[in-house]
Structure 1
Amino acid sequence: MSAIVIVFHSGYGHTAKVAEAIAATSGAALLPIDAEGNLPAGGWEQLAAARMVVFGSPTYMGSVSWQFKKFADASSKPWFGQAWKDKLAAGFTNSASMNGDKHSTLHYLMTLAMQHSMLWVGTGMMPSNNKAATRDSLNYVASSAGLMTTTPSDASADEMVAGDIATARAFGERLKDVVARFAR
């Protein structure tokens, strides 16, 4: 079992591409939520064994997808027994607009983690907010609470901004380092 598990829903492939980039540098196992909002067989056991759980969802209408929400609601069983207490947690989201109310989604993911008594890990990255910054700069979307990426509504997952994928890889490196230092 992997020390880091990324549980995510992806409606059109963009969120999956971000999850894959995070996993590439963190060594995380991917745990996709299907189109009906369900985990694959053994998914709950993977989450129970993880030292860190990374939550991912696209931002739809200012929050997580209904499929992710179904998973979150189903997590009430481990919540009741505080099974995830003191596990590390982090989160990420993608939407079509630069802002797109992604912060609402990250706050939802953070609240879910806090309800489970988990310990939240942010990006640990400075924003790229000077005149020399370009859309391909690391953390151009400038999030501290969790990873935010932006993909135009008419772009395929293969057309995602290279800087966002590089930021996702840097986020994965941070998560791997944090688990090595803090998880028990």
Structure 2
Amino acid sequence: MPDILILYYSRHGSVAQLARQIARGVDEVPGMQARLRTVPPVAAVTTVAAPPEPEDGAPYVERSDLAECAGLILGSPTRFGNMAAPLKHFIDSLGAEWASGSLVGKPAAVFTSTASMHGGQESTLLSMLLPLLHHGMLITGIPFTQSQLSTTTSGGTPYGASHWTGPEGSSTLSEDERVLARALGRRVAQIAHKLGGEA
């Protein structure tokens, strides 16, 4: 079955929760399945290597995950209105994929989480879309036909799924956030399926 790669970095768990909801949406589309992957943290001390596998959660991404996917959904916490360094570090290493065009024509989407209501959710999502455009991917968002976009009092944008943790840093998603995350996963999977679903 064709995979939709859900690739994310999560520091405190809320981005991982969004990723699992997006995966549920992908899996709702007949003939499609979600593949959850994460990126290792980065550190200023470059001689310290990350363990070969994370202690829990999704395994680390490999180049083959990108080559084999029928679509890509990127997730990151918000860092000053931008994606977190570990995800950016990984994206910056994709020169060979860019040169070969291995992601061209595949649908793509993004998601994020932030601690403050105006902490840069939308600018983070938009900044995450830029490298996907350079890779020739087909950008997918959440249309306003999804009624929760007009009623949510927490996360959720037309640019992608999002979560507002609040000042206490809650990783519990609101019902609107869960619905919108599943809708995003479903939409990318449906588009990939219509495009043929081949890697």
Identify whether the pair has TM-score above 0.5, normalized to the shorter chain.
Answer: yes
Q: Which residue, 130, 141, 147 being the options, matches 2:161?
A: 147
1:1-184 maps to which residues of 2 (within 5 A)? 2-27=2-27, 28-36=34-42, 43-126=62-145, 128=148, 133=151, 135=153, 141=155, 143-157=157-171, 159-183=172-196, 184=198
CA distance in 2, matches of 1:105, 1:42: 21
Contact conserved, 2:107 with 2:188, CA < 8 A, in 1?
no
Contact conserved, 2:18 with 2:178, CA < 8 A, in 1?
yes
Contact conserved, 1:124 with 1:174, CA < 8 A, in 2?
no
CA distance in 2, matches of 1:122, 1:160: 19
Of structures 1 and 2, the one with the larger relative CO (CA 8 A, separation 6+) is 2
Unaligned 5+ segments in structure 1 are: none
Contact conserved, 1:151 with 1:161, CA < 8 A, in 2?
no
Unaligned 5+ segments in structure 2 are: 28-33, 44-49, 54-58
Contact conserved, 1:14 with 1:94, CA < 8 A, in 2?
yes
Instruction: Give the drift of 1:79.
Output: 1.0
Secondary structure of the 1:148 match is strand
Residues 106 and 99 of structure 1: CA distance in aligned 2, closer, same or farther (over 3 Å) = same
> Residue 17 of structure 1 aligns to which amino acid in structure 2?
Q
Instruction: Give the drift of 1:153.
Output: 3.4
Secondary structure of the 2:110 match is strand
CA distance in 1, matches of 2:101, 2:152: 43
CA distance in 2, matches of 1:148, 1:142: 5
CA distance in 2, matches of 1:102, 1:4: 23
Residues 173 and 180 of structure 1: CA distance in aligned 2, closer, same or farther (over 3 Å) = same
Instruction: Give the drift of 1:112.
Output: 0.8
Contact conserved, 1:18 with 1:168, CA < 8 A, in 2?
yes
TM-score by length of 2: 0.79
Instruction: Give the drift of 1:162.
Output: 2.8
CA distance in 1, matches of 2:61, 2:9: 17
CA distance in 2, matches of 1:134, 1:89: 23
The root-mean-square deviation of aligned C-alpha atoms, in Å, is 2.4
Indicate the percent of aligned positions where both proteins have the same amino acid.
27
Contact conserved, 1:23 with 1:172, CA < 8 A, in 2?
yes
CA distance in 2, matches of 1:129, 1:45: 34
> Residue 11 of structure 1 aligns to which amino acid in structure 2?
R
> Residue 181 of structure 2 aligns to which amino acid in structure 1?
A
Secondary structure of the 2:66 match is helix
Residues 145 and 42 of structure 1: CA distance in aligned 2, closer, same or farther (over 3 Å) = closer
Instruction: Give the drift of 1:24.
Output: 1.4
Residues 76 and 153 of structure 1: CA distance in aligned 2, closer, same or farther (over 3 Å) = farther
